[in-house]
Amino acid sequence: MSADGQSALTEDADARIELRRMTRQLGVVYWASVFLIASLLWHFVGVDAWVSAPGKLVWITASIVITFAISALLLRWRNLSFLHKAILCFVLTLLCSPFSASIDFLIASWYLWPQKPAFAPRDFVYSLIENSSFLFGWACLYVAMLYSHEVRQQEQRLAAIREEALKAQMRALRYQINPHFLFNTFNSIAALIEEGMPNEAKRMVVVLSEFLRTTLTLDPLSDVRLDRELALQQDYLAIERERFSDRLNFAVDVPIELNGALVPSLILQPLVENAIKHGVGQASAPMLIRIEAAAMNEDLRLVVTNDVAPDRATTEPPSTGIGLANVNERLAARFGARGRCTAGYDGQGKWEAVVELPLRYE
């Protein structure tokens, strides 16, 4: 049997178990209420509640058996329309209430034994109406319970579908990073080779292999501690510094208490890549890339800034491209309105990318 088939069988079994549990709970509450109501009615007509208790228990037991049959039929035909279900409840009540009323008459005869009570049509009709109301009430409640159970099962299925869709989306967005990153890194290695720097290129390949070994073991849906994410970015910056050794400087400014904060794995990678591409990669003077973090109420704020060449600080901002769009999509899919990424010039000759997400710890 396939995994999907096995999963479907498991879900059906769980649904049946849940339905039985709900039926038992409804039955206990319903028939306990009926017992109390019947005790009050018999008390008002002058019958001692303790004396009548055994008879009521026998009647309720018989009624439970009858309602079990009604429930089985309603469950079998649960796919009928609401109107047809209502008609079915009414018909089943009409068919079963004479049996329940007859049991009620036999219990009354047992209490009057050895006297033999005469059959009173009016009393039997009253008993028939009373039993019909109880049985019809159960049938209606059971239909409502079935509807509630079906709605809950459908909500669970939809939630599972949404979760699977979200996981697929998160995986796709997360794995977009690897080709994008590799494209930039291989270009850097090729540039080193073209510039006659084989030792630097070799060292960069070694560092790259270590970086990939670490990143490829990360679960796309998992969170990592902020200090681990920062360590990965520093490894990446070390790779790029092999190419831009005379121009690339970087600094990390994160309060020690935020090291344990949780962030999506490699969420900073596209921002750092963007800082190198539009900062160091387009400048001839040394440039600084700074990574900062701060707690803002219940949110975590991550900022990646990079110097911008003076001749580009007043031009149109660089395209955010697939990298920053990827960050925005990942944050929106994971955190909704509480996750966002903005980027732009800060007015002081720097390009600033800001990530905001809920502040969470392990």
Supply the pLDDT for residue 3.
43
Supply the pLDDT for residue 243.
67
Neighbours of 345 (CB within 10 A): 17
Residue 168 has pLDDT above 60, yes or no: no
Supply the pLDDT for residue 2.
43
DSSP class of 65: H
Q: CA-based diameter of the chain, in Å?
A: 119
This prediction has a pTM of: 0.52
Find tokens 């159960």 and name the residue.
Answer: 138
Mean pLDDT value of segment 219-244: 81
The angle that helices 49-76 and 121-194 make with each other, rounded to 10 degrees, is: 50
Task: Give the residue among 235, 60, 230, 228 at the shortest CA–CA distance from 134.
Answer: 60
SS (H, E, C) 19-53: HHHHHHHHHHHHHHHHHHHHHHHHHHCCCCHHHHH
Q: Which residues lie closer than 8 Å to 4 by C-beta, 6 or more apart?
A: none
Q: Is the peptide bond before 179 cis (omega within 30 degrees of 0)?
A: no
Task: Give the residue among 151, 125, 137, 236 at the shortest CA–CA distance from 188.
Answer: 236
> Higher confidence at residue 148 or residue 104?
148
| Share above pLDDT 70 across residues of the chain, in percent, rounded to a whole number | 75
What's the mean pLDDT when you consider all of the chain? 79
> Higher confidence at residue 45 or residue 75?
75
- At 161, the pLDDT band (50, 70, 90 cuts) reads low
Asked if residue 153 lies in contact with residue 160, where contact means CB atoms within 8 angstroms, the answer is no
pLDDT in tens, 21-36: 888 888 888 888 888 8
Q: Which residues lie closer than 8 Å to 160 by C-beta, 6 or more apart?
A: none
- At 5, the pLDDT band (50, 70, 90 cuts) reads very low
Find tokens 């070994």 and name the residue.
Answer: 213
Find tokens 């200090």 and name the residue.
Answer: 227
CA distances from 329 to 174, 176, 275 (A): 10, 12, 19
